[in-house]
Chains A and B, each alone.
Chain A
């Protein structure tokens, strides 16, 4: 069966510090991978998605970036965090194809102080 791992679960970082969140998927090949952000009490904002190694699509301009160095690994990064980067970050995967649903990791709660 497929599983998705996301870490860390909780992170407190000072403004201006770098960020690296990692997500890995097991049990499937060539998945579509996604990073979403959820502000407190709000909906999900799509940040990045990837359909293959090295292929990243960005949905919103910001100081975040994403990379996919391996087929089942998706990384969210920042060189300098802002207070507004605080939120709940969720990684998700979907199998290739139109009709597949997304499966989510457990999320990372990031607080920038």
Chain B
């Protein structure tokens, strides 16, 4: 069974600091997705990573994928308050194209 683990689950950081969120998964996969959720809202797609070594960047966020280590990272550079949200990673199963499993989410709070 495909399992996805994120850490940390809660992250409080000050503006201007850097930090990394980790996403580990249990079985072989080459498809990984990052989403953002604001409180009480739906999920917004951030990044789609489709190969080993894939790296994508948007503003202060950068995501990478290491399929051999079964690990993806979401790096935050010089955090700002607007980045406060919950971030989810999701992994696609190679055995079932229709299966997408989510991590528990990382609740990020950026303090001034």
Contacts and interface: CB of A to CB of B under 8 A. Distances in A.
Contact of A51 (B31, B48, B98, B102): B98
B42 A106 contact: yes
Which 4 residue pairs across A and B have the least CB separation, nearest first? A43-B104, A44-B102, A104-B43, A104-B42
Q: Give the interface SS of chain A, mostly helix, strand, loop or mixed.
A: strand
* B contact face: mostly helix, strand, loop, or mixed: strand
Task: Report the interface size class on chain B.
Answer: 20 to 34
Contacts of A97: 97
Contacts of A87: none
A107 B41 contact: yes
A61 to B, nearest CB: 15
25 contacts: A32-B98, A34-B100, A41-B107, A43-B102, A43-B103, A44-B102, A46-B99, A46-B102, A51-B98, A57-B98, A90-B42, A92-B43, A94-B98, A94-B100, A98-B31, A99-B50, A101-B33, A102-B90, A102-B100, A103-B45, A104-B42, A104-B44, A105-B42, A106-B41, A107-B41
